[in-house]
Structure 1
């Protein structure tokens, strides 16, 4: 464990444990039946307050006297387990009785030892090869019970369980037998910290919106919404009969059940009936990503009821956006559902295939939108600690975190160091600071930021970053991943890796200088400002011609360069013209990938090209945001061309239909279209910058966002070239109206304004005219 990873655990809540970590001797290893540890104990009387502190290697679920403890799912959660493991606390007095009591802790492989990564090189036993539990009951500072070598163990009816695999459950084995003992295993209790974010919980169940039988007589259910979660059902039938549930995100032509994009993930459940009346089942230790379920019945079984149960770590919606476009409204909802389904302990890329990893690039581009749509502060703080634990000795930040490859590099070498991905360590803390005023996040991550920025400089020993071309080599970059090229007979230009890497080199270096200033580190601030200046000059020399044309003449290059002020003043007008031409020549279709897309519309808006922003955003062909909505998407797709107009799946080897990255456009909807954005000079929404961008085809628009101080609301309507804009600010939150050329003759609460104007908490009316042309 590196020293920085150890330091990043400081400040987290820890406790002194009387209990020991115990492993069930019934356990047969990864991929074998799950096990339990148990203990019968007596209490003369039940204290008024009894707390259970509990954690595990693997996943656990606890029962006292046959009743489940709590409602949390997938506990103790997913972290870099060699860095820290979460523990949970539950009030359990109501589950105890005077006299004899019985406690069971069910244990399964979970992320701890399920095979992770993909294909033949999937890594089993990533953080260890033994499932185990630690628990103690405490009342009034006195330990009533704790795990030790005297606990019993045995096999569970969960015959097999795995994150990608799914679960096999045999209800005929539900009567548990204590067949073995337990043993205390070596374990560093200093690793145990209180759960850092909200636990994973169930959302309201979804009932089928349609069902039918396929050509083989199997029932197929459409739940109407792609989710991360599981199928729960109640059945009755004969003992030994079986119910198999397979999952898919999409249907192919002719309603073909198509889950080829799951790759090697089995992602199914198999339930064997006990045959004693109504039996209800949902998997205990896994989840899937799906909209559709195919049910195969073997033997005599009646399905009494069936539902889809979404699960998430961010259950409560904290922001919303609505417009006059139904497709846009559905797009925002799709982003909400993609966040829910991928914010399950870790911000993953997807919840369905043999991956489900915390990709740093995906997380950093989506982080602002995540904070608009949900309270993501503690969730992302926890993730950043995993990122820091995975940071390599040379400063490289991992591609994914928690990173299975760090401990097992033999199959996946060099899985760190990509610009645009590693920059998460600088960008996400800044997002937390601006949205929540979380200065502590900046301080906690600061050393890791410095090491990352120094690493990127070292790739080419200078301001221009020239990454190696081969995956796994030091400094390899994903560039603008999945940047579309249009017609492959005459493809449009795309950004080169060196340009993409250098752009992000500047972004993080400049941002680190700002962060150093916030933290009072003037030495670092000045050093980073000088370095950012060197990168700015080198970028202009290397990538901007005398005519103001950027070297690769693609949408990503222009968007990122303009958004981050890398275009010199003498080239600004010409480069703006080139940017317009590039967008128009593409027939207003998107030409950006993972790092370019979040910058595209904000850059066009910044440049005053609202007409282009509107056309690009609202065009309905591929590649475009609304194409997938027209195709029936209920979450955000990984690829712009994930599905052809006839419903054919494109490239099932890498194709997720629940991938939140392109949902980052919601940040633009809140901050530009609705015109409310956090002010970094007054973080945590102490001050809100107000500057709407009315787009006629979105008329009318309304948005809201819950912050710690209350609710921010904004709305505008447009008629006959005039706009009425209403904004409401809670107590403790002031506004700063920033009029631009798009706000002609602005009037605030009945008084004309000519420049930036402060607004107190409360409701305000702003009226203005829109310019006759952009």
Structure 2
């Protein structure tokens, strides 16, 4: 069975329904980038009867019954590989109906379905189709009492232009609607429709400006104090025809100049034209922007009464947090939360602002563990994995991003945009994190065929364990390597990992995971095959990249971190390699030397090797490149580049610079699991059992964490008391803890001396006071 057939089978197994309605397109629609339109129908109703509206669309929709909005969900029906499945939503609308005559309107816009997607000259209009359309049924007591069909009518909306990158233009003078056109019933396969697979996008709490001023041209600039994904809401009054243009940016240039050059070709703005008369309120309907600042230009006679920032997200509720004695660290955690919120809008995107906003697999895989600590991401990431599987190529290559517009429109792209190690490994790493955090063996089973295709593809790249990627972008097996790995002073750059080494490390990581997952699923033949293959990769890695003295070939932080973390260094070389690792970090003056794939491994590797002193210095370094450098430069989200803003405020090359990229926020997983010391375990996943092994970093002062898992809230924290550490843990019912033997010395449990057996000390649910000697 091909991967396409596999994912279609999985999709049809998910909740769906039989449809008798038709997908109908408004005949007044003039195509991509044109004025938005709607479909509508009047119907009779008996008050008091139950009523559920099932609705979906090609494009984005918003439904209204008798002029009242249905639900509060945003950007519906969401973003999927639309040739695989399109979500539908169901709403109880009984309270909106009245006895007698009623009217339903479904507003439509381009959305991801046909907005130009990708960047610059590669932007693809009509990615999944060139007709926006809606499908709807009203169900009452098991009977379909209204369905969309060719008898519905259509008309134009006051939204004169709308697009994911464009933003939105709205002319309130055109709000009076006329059902001026008919509709066309399209030849649509209703088998593509599935119930929305994750939580809808919702608004968060609004943010008022923390400061406002005017530039030299008299335009108002508002600082909302927080970078986010969302839109601005305004209240304005003035004469008919006056216009309000709201532009957005993430940063300010010198002299606090408005600067959104990093949006590239994305306009990322909205224009509102007043109807005149009483105060008018507006916020965009079918788009979102990434921004902290708004610049407002008023043309004509109009006055802004209020302006607020409205963040939006698919994961608006926090599920975990970390607090320390260092305010900059706490802000770093909060920055990661905000980057996740802004980029978890239907899919895990790289950034919410520029002409991109794609579901990059590499970003998602390095961040998946942190994502699950900070928010409930079970259904969100599972939905994303279904897109990844649908986009997987027949040869097993996993796309660089998903949903992938290039799969349907390969023209204009050099080669196939799929198959990079570190990126395609999302298909093994993300399901494994979902298993650890939520105990979802069914996710492993659903993704297992795609995992096998991926690791077999990796082996095929060089017909063996060592992968030698193509150096040509788009070439077969091209690898991003350790993307954006810093090199330090360009006069004497620090060493970086080579693509072949990075690719081979991830070859081992995914093959190990596949062998482990095969065992969990009872796939004994596959377990034996891939266990043997993983060992072959490990031996080949040692021959190719580990010298006789234990020094790794590229002698860089990423090589050591990934190799140690994934047991790629032979036992006889571990101590020597550890010494080289320490020296590499110290010679860099404790500055980060890792990019996208190396950064999540760096501090866990140092910590688990017993080099917590180095981990502490690297983490708390306030120079560039460093996490706290960003914070002290005023960042409120995670940057794409370590050097996105220079110490003197200089903005790095704006064409490749986002100030809201969550990847480097993956360090928060280390804060939860290594510093606070709470780790989910593979032998009892879903927090049935947690490993309790904190790493004390004295410079942090104290540490507390909390996390809402499926059993309830877990809390843990440590503080230093003289030459000892007090570690308090609260475990909910259904969750037990285990203190492993080996690292903690002179342990007490609830005030009494405790011996830790070799298998570890088990702790039942409840509150526990654990003491141990402060490491020397």
Taking structure 1 as the reference length, the TM-score comes to 0.99
- 1:11 CA displacement: 2.1
Q: Does residue 274 in structure 1 map to residue 275 in structure 2?
A: yes
Q: Tell me how far apart the structure 2 counterparts of residues 527 and 69 of structure 1 sit (CA, whole Å).
A: 53
Is the 8 Å Cα contact of residues 251 and 647 (structure 1) preserved in structure 2?
A: no
Structure 1 counterpart SS, 2:311: strand
Which segments of structure 1 move beyond 6 Å, counting only runs of 4 or more? none
Q: Does residue 471 in structure 1 map to residue 473 in structure 2?
A: yes
Q: 2:664 aligns with which of 637, 662, 665?
A: 662
Q: Does residue 518 in structure 1 map to residue 529 in structure 2?
A: no
- 1:615 CA displacement: 0.1
- Quote the residue 2:320 is aligned against: 319
- 1:650 CA displacement: 0.2
- Quote the residue 2:7 is aligned against: 5
- Quote the residue 2:149 is aligned against: 148
- Quote the residue 2:251 is aligned against: 250
Q: Tell me how far apart the structure 1 counterparts of residues 701 and 9 of structure 2 sit (CA, whole Å).
A: 50
Is the 8 Å Cα contact of residues 27 and 33 (structure 1) preserved in structure 2?
A: yes
Q: Tell me how far apart the structure 1 counterparts of residues 9 and 464 of structure 2 sit (CA, whole Å).
A: 30
Q: Tell me how far apart the structure 2 counterparts of residues 753 and 315 of structure 1 sit (CA, whole Å).
A: 43
Structure 2 counterpart SS, 1:745: coil
- Quote the residue 1:289 is aligned against: 290
- Quote the residue 2:715 is aligned against: 713
Q: 2:591 aligns with which of 589, 592, 598?
A: 589
Is the 8 Å Cα contact of residues 65 and 102 (structure 1) preserved in structure 2?
A: yes
- Quote the residue 2:302 is aligned against: 301
Is the 8 Å Cα contact of residues 699 and 716 (structure 1) preserved in structure 2?
A: no
Residue deviations 1:558-590, cap 9 Å, x none?
A: 000000001101100100000000000000000
Q: Tell me how far apart the structure 1 counterparts of residues 400 and 20 of structure 2 sit (CA, whole Å).
A: 38
- Quote the residue 1:746 is aligned against: 747
Q: 1:488 aligns with which of 471, 487, 490?
A: 490
Is the 8 Å Cα contact of residues 265 and 354 (structure 1) preserved in structure 2?
A: yes
Q: Does residue 231 in structure 1 map to residue 232 in structure 2?
A: yes
- 1:472 CA displacement: 0.7
Is the 8 Å Cα contact of residues 369 and 667 (structure 1) preserved in structure 2?
A: yes
- 1:752 CA displacement: 2.0
Is the 8 Å Cα contact of residues 414 and 471 (structure 1) preserved in structure 2?
A: no
Structure 2 counterpart SS, 1:52: strand
Is the 8 Å Cα contact of residues 701 and 716 (structure 1) preserved in structure 2?
A: yes
Structure 2 counterpart SS, 1:33: coil
Q: 1:549 aligns with which of 531, 537, 551?
A: 551
- 1:42 CA displacement: 1.1
Residue deviations 1:215-271, cap 9 Å, x none?
A: 100000000000000000100000000000000000112101110000000000000
- Quote the residue 1:758 is aligned against: 762
CA RMSD in angstroms comes to 0.8
Q: Tell me how far apart the structure 1 counterparts of residues 483 and 12 of structure 2 sit (CA, whole Å).
A: 35
Q: 2:690 aligns with which of 679, 688, 693?
A: 688
Q: Tell me how far apart the structure 2 counterparts of residues 191 and 399 of structure 1 sit (CA, whole Å).
A: 24
- Quote the residue 1:430 is aligned against: 432
- 1:531 CA displacement: 0.1
Is the 8 Å Cα contact of residues 739 and 756 (structure 2) preserved in structure 1?
A: no
Q: Tell me how far apart the structure 2 counterparts of residues 276 and 286 of structure 1 sit (CA, whole Å).
A: 27
Q: Does residue 182 in structure 1 map to residue 186 in structure 2?
A: no
Taking structure 2 as the reference length, the TM-score comes to 0.99
- Quote the residue 1:638 is aligned against: 640
Q: 1:650 aligns with which of 632, 649, 652?
A: 652
Q: Does residue 769 in structure 1 map to residue 769 in structure 2?
A: no
- 1:739 CA displacement: 4.3
- Quote the residue 2:508 is aligned against: 506
- 1:9 CA displacement: 1.0
Q: Tell me how far apart the structure 1 counterparts of residues 606 and 50 of structure 2 sit (CA, whole Å).
A: 59
Q: Tell me how far apart the structure 2 counterparts of residues 133 and 170 of structure 1 sit (CA, whole Å).
A: 23
Structure 2 counterpart SS, 1:9: helix
- Quote the residue 1:349 is aligned against: 350
Q: 1:609 aligns with which of 584, 608, 611?
A: 611
- Quote the residue 2:562 is aligned against: 560
Is the 8 Å Cα contact of residues 47 and 139 (structure 1) preserved in structure 2?
A: no
Q: Tell me how far apart the structure 1 counterparts of residues 593 and 122 of structure 2 sit (CA, whole Å).
A: 34
Is the 8 Å Cα contact of residues 739 and 746 (structure 1) preserved in structure 2?
A: no
Residue deviations 1:355-375, cap 9 Å, x none?
A: 000000000000000000000
Is the 8 Å Cα contact of residues 87 and 192 (structure 1) preserved in structure 2?
A: yes
Q: Tell me how far apart the structure 2 counterparts of residues 631 and 503 of structure 1 sit (CA, whole Å).
A: 34
Is the 8 Å Cα contact of residues 21 and 133 (structure 1) preserved in structure 2?
A: yes
- 1:47 CA displacement: 4.0
- 1:722 CA displacement: 1.0
Structure 2 counterpart SS, 1:334: helix
Q: Does residue 102 in structure 1 map to residue 103 in structure 2?
A: yes
- Quote the residue 1:89 is aligned against: 90
Q: Tell me how far apart the structure 2 counterparts of residues 49 and 450 of structure 1 sit (CA, whole Å).
A: 48
Q: 2:42 aligns with which of 17, 40, 43?
A: 40
- 1:10 CA displacement: 3.4
Unaligned 5+ segments in structure 2 are none
Residue deviations 1:673-723, cap 9 Å, x none?
A: 000010110000000100000100112110000011111000110132210
- Quote the residue 2:627 is aligned against: 625
Q: Tell me how far apart the structure 2 counterparts of residues 120 and 315 of structure 1 sit (CA, whole Å).
A: 34
Is the 8 Å Cα contact of residues 253 and 646 (structure 1) preserved in structure 2?
A: no
Q: Tell me how far apart the structure 1 counterparts of residues 423 and 738 of structure 2 sit (CA, whole Å).
A: 33
- 1:302 CA displacement: 1.0
- Quote the residue 2:736 is aligned against: 734
- 1:647 CA displacement: 1.6
Q: Tell me how far apart the structure 1 counterparts of residues 740 and 164 of structure 2 sit (CA, whole Å).
A: 49
